[in-house]
Amino acid sequence: MISKIQIYAAAGLAFALGLVGIYWRGKSAGAEAERDEHMRRRVDAMKTAKEVRDEIWDDIDLADRAGRWVRSNDDKR
């Protein structure tokens, strides 16, 4: 009788540990996917900023006009 209880307890424990393992793996995979998406968005934003900056600085007249409206990095207000 006790051996049957031990078998059921071991099976229940294995099942519970399996569920915890599946949950943990899913949670870590979701966090990794979120980090990847965040990094992809940051790279896209940096590429867009570089393209805009390059386009503005190629046109000297536009760069002069933009310089009047954009605060410089030296201005620490």
Question: For the segment 5-58, what is each residue's pLDDT rounded down to a tens digit?
Answer: 999 999 999 999 999 999 999 999 999 999 999 999 999 999 998 988 888 777
| CB 76 within 8 Å of CB 70 | no
In a domain, 37, yes or no: yes
Residue 74: per-residue pLDDT: 62
Inside any domain, residue 39? yes
Q: Which pLDDT belongs to residue 68?
A: 75
List C-alpha distances in Å: 13 to 18, 22, 27, 76: 8, 14, 21, 61
pTM: 0.51
Domain that holds residue 58: 2-69
Position 43 in a domain: yes
Asked if residue 75 is part of any domain, the answer here is: no
Residue 62 backbone phi and psi in degrees, to 5: -65, -40
8 Å CB contact between 50 and 42? no
Q: How confident is the model at residue 75 (pLDDT cuts 50, 70, 90)?
A: low
Residue 74 in any domain: the answer is no
Taking 80 as the threshold, does the pLDDT of residue 69 lie above it?
A: no
